[in-house]
Amino acid sequence: MGFFLKIKAIALDIDGTITDERGIINLNALKTIRMLESKNIRVVLTTGNAFPVVMGLRKYLGCSGVVIGENGGIVGEYNNFVILGDSKIGLMARKLILEKLNQIFVESWQNPYRHIDFAFKLKINIPREKGLRILRDALKNIPNVRAMDSGVAYHVGDSRIDKGRGLEIAAEMMDLSLDEFMAIGDSDTDIALFRKAGLSIAVNNASENLKKIASIVTSKPYWMGFVEAIQYLR
């Protein structure tokens, strides 16, 4: 148990981790975040959402850590942030999808506010795995591009940037070591994050790929898994 006592910050995914299956943040998850902050354990929201969206959440949830937005593409707070990666890669991918795949995908309303990572959702009823294969095949001639599925949206952008790289920058900004972070998440977009954090916990609804590399998998899904995960700090 001494291993867990050195945790000073939580790198926390949002969708599927502190929400219910409808994507709504549960009040018990909010209470848990406030409890962590009251004990000086700083919460770092770590998400695929655009920077303005996650900064708004940070304020109203009461988190004190910097934020990691766009799956590691932007890290910081307010006007003090850094953009990681090459924006031209994501913009090229976005242009191709809008021109060639607009009958299959619709872009996120957040895309005008993004720099590195651009999000899309399906317009037609096909398996998510098939949608990801279509994206990857269409983008294969763009150097250093990657396509991922968060379970909520498909994300395209610079393959050299991920939540793990974002956590490295966040740790520097907060004067913490990576070993002092617990990471909690649910999707393949959290894999790089889990590989960097000192302790990683997958909620029970997580992807099988994420569960395979997690230090711990909770018995409960969604926000209930997040609340359960925090018990390991006690």
Is 69 in the same domain as 165?
yes
Return the CATH number at 211.
3.40.50.1000
pLDDT at 1: 38
Please determine, for residue 3, whether its predicted confidence score (pLDDT) is greater than 70: no
Tell whether 77 and 173 lie within a shared domain: yes
CA distance 34 to 37: 5
Give the pLDDT mean for 138-162. 96
Cα separation, 139 vs 132, in Å, equals: 11
Tens digit of pLDDT for each residue in 45-90? 999 999 999 999 999 999 999 999 999 999 999 999 999 999 999 9
Q: What is the percentage of the chain residues whose pLDDT exceeds 90? A: 96
The reply to whether 38 and 143 lie within a common domain is no
Q: Cα separation of 221 and 83, whole Å?
A: 32
Quick one: pLDDT at residue 100? Answer: 97
Same domain, 103 and 135: yes
Active site residue 190: no
Q: Do 154 and 96 belong together in one domain? A: yes
The rounded mean pLDDT for the chain is 96
The one-character DSSP state at 25 is B
pLDDT digits (tens, 9 = 90+) for 16-47: 999 999 999 999 999 999 999 999 999 999 99
Domain boundary residue among 158, 183, 212? 158
Q: Which residues of 198-216 are buried (b: 16+ CB within 10 A; e: fewer)?
A: bbbbbbebbbeebeeebbe
Q: Are residues 72 and 184 in the same domain?
A: yes
Considering the domain architecture, whether residues 98 and 127 belong to the same structural domain is answered as yes
Report whether pLDDT(2) > 90.
no
Tell me the CATH number at 153: 3.90.1070.10
| Whether residue 168 sits in one domain with residue 66 | yes
Q: What is the pLDDT of residue 233?
A: 85
pTM of the model: 0.94
Domain count, the chain: 2
Residue 85 in contact with residue 93, Cβ under 8 Å?
Answer: no
The answer to whether residue 178 scores a pLDDT higher than 80 is yes
Are residues 99 and 201 both part of a single domain?
Answer: no
Q: Are residues 21 and 46 in the same domain?
A: yes
95 and 77 inside one domain: no
Distance CA 183, CA 10 (A): 6
Q: 81 forms bridges with which residues in the sheet?
A: 76
Structural domain range at position 228 = 2-81+161-233
What confidence score (pLDDT) does residue 4 get? 56
